[in-house]
Chain A
C-alpha cells in the first residue's frame, strides 16, 4: 500500500496571503482527494481530482495534479483566519480504500 505525504508539516501565514500545500505519493492512482479538519472535528471533503485531470477549482481553492511527478498541490488564495485547520490528501488506488498522509497544519494569523 502507499500513502500520500503532505509537505510542509506546518505552515503559518498572515491573513490575506496564499497558502500552498503539497502532496506526494508513490504508485498509480485513480483519483486524489483533499480534506480539511478543524481541531477535534471530522474531515470535510474539499476537492476530488481524477488521474486524467490536471487542475480543479472550487471557490478560493485550486488543486493541481501531476501524475508524472506523482504529486498534487492545494492552493488556498486570500486566506482567512477561518482557514486555520489541518489539510490532508488521500489517494485512491481503486482498492476501496483511501490512503491518508499525516497532514499539513495551517495557521492563518489575523
Chain B
C-alpha cells in the first residue's frame, strides 16, 4: 500500500531564515506530487505540482520554491521566510490526473 510522509510535523522559524520541508511517497512510481498551504479556517491553496523528476509548476507567485530531486521526493523551500509564510503545509500525491488524491499529515509552520 502507498504511504506519504512529511517532516517535520511542526516548525517555528524566525523571519528571514531559510526553510526546507520534505515529502516522500512510498509504494508507487511516478506519482503526481503537490504542495498546498492552508491558512487557519480556510480552504487549501495549491502552491506547486510536479508530474515528474525536475518538473515543477508554480500556481501562485510567492516567496517559496519547490524541487523534485527523486521520483518520490518533493521539497518545499524558501531562502528567507516572511511572516505571511506561516500556515499549514500539506503534501499530496496521486497516480493519475483524474484519480484520488491523498494527503500527508502536514507541517505546521509558524514564522516569528
Contacts and interface: CB of A to CB of B under 8 A. Distances in A.
Q: Which of A3, A96, A98: most chain B CB closer than 10 A?
A: A96
Contacts of B88: 40
A31 interface: yes
Interface string B77-112: 000000000001010100001111111111010000
Interface residues of B, number: 26
Contact of A96 (B32, B102, B104, B106): B32
A100 interface: yes
B102 A45 contact: yes
Contact of B106 (A42, A45, A92): A42
A41 interface: yes
A45 B97 CA distance: 16
Interface in B37-56: 41-44, 46, 49, 51
A48 B101 CA distance: 9
B103 A42 contact: yes
B42 A102 contact: yes
Given A42-B103, A45-B103, A94 B97 contact: yes
Given A42-B106, A43-B90, A101 B43 contact: yes
Contacts of A101: 43
A75 to B, nearest CB: 20
14 contacts: A33-B100, A33-B101, A35-B103, A42-B90, A42-B106, A43-B92, A45-B101, A45-B102, A45-B103, A92-B98, A100-B44, A101-B43, A102-B41, A102-B42
Given A43-B103, A48-B100, 15 more contacts: A30-B98, A31-B98, A40-B106, A42-B105, A43-B90, A90-B44, A90-B101, A92-B98, A94-B97, A96-B49, A98-B46, A98-B101, A100-B43, A100-B44, A101-B43
